[in-house]
């Protein structure tokens, strides 16, 4: 009798766990994407020159600024969908204003790559205003997007990195940066 109750208890526990997991599985925690072909092109921009951004005019707060030189132009193939993975890494310092952070985003054309977090992604921070201006660190981000192929001839897309600060008086400086965009076929070739 004890064995039968123990088995029944384990069965009920397993059913409860399975029900909980299936309810949890319906919540989307992440986007996924894949490429069935290998990397078929790599585009790189890099610089050892520092660029700095400081906003002193409140009217200009919230303005994204192109990181000088952090731009690549990609030729998109006509007859296949491509997955593009973009990475940006840099030596970074974010200093000045209290409760400020420094932001970076990657665009393809006018669209932010995924995950498109807008101003929610902090590339670096001022440590609540306590960060010394000489405390350089290495920081990086990675984003992706897909473009469906067309049959309308050569298509090019410009990928670029932009930066901004979240508060007046914050200074964001990037140095020794590297920007890479990799193009991968998704394996869905079609005839034009």
> Tell me: the pLDDT tens digits for 89-140?
999 999 988 889 999 999 999 999 999 988 889 999 988 877 777 788 999 9
Whether 129 maps to a domain, the answer reads yes
Q: Which domain holds residue 112?
A: 39-185
Across 90-104, 155-169, 176-190, least confident range: 176-190
Whether 28 maps to a domain, the answer reads no
Q: With 80 as the cut, is the pLDDT of residue 171 above it?
A: yes
Query: 3-state SS of 12-68?
Result: HHHHHHHHHHHHHHCCCCCCCCCCCCCEEEEEEEEECCCEEEECCCHHHCCCCEEEE
- Based on the structure, what is the number of domains in the chain? 1
Average pLDDT over residues 43-72: 91
Q: Mean pLDDT score of the chain, rounded to an integer? A: 82
Whether 32 maps to a domain, the answer reads no
């Amino acid at each position: 009798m004890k064995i039968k109750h123990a088995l029944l208890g384990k069965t009920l526990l397993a059913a409860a766990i399975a029900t909980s997991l299936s309810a949890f599985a319906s919540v989307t925690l992440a986007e996924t994407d894949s490429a069935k072909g290998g990397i078929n092109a790599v585009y790189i921009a890099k610089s050892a020159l520092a660029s700095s951004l400081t906003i002193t005019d409140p009217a200009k707060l919230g303005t994204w600024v192109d990181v000088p030189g952090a731009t690549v132009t990609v030729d998109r193939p006509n007859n296949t969908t491509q997955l593009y993975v973009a990475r940006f890494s840099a030596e970074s310092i974010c200093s000045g204003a209290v409760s400020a952070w420094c932001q970076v985003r990657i665009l393809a054309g006018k669209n932010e790559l995924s995950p498109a977090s807008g101003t929610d992604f902090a590339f670096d921070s001022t440590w609540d205003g306590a960060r010394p201006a000489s405390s350089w660190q290495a920081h990086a981000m990675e984003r992706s997007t897909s473009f469906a192929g067309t049959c309308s001839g050569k298509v090019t897309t410009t990928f670029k990195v932009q930066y901004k600060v979240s508060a007046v008086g914050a200074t964001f400086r990037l140095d020794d940066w590297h920007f890479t965009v990799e193009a991968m076929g998704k394996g869905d070739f079609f005839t034009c």
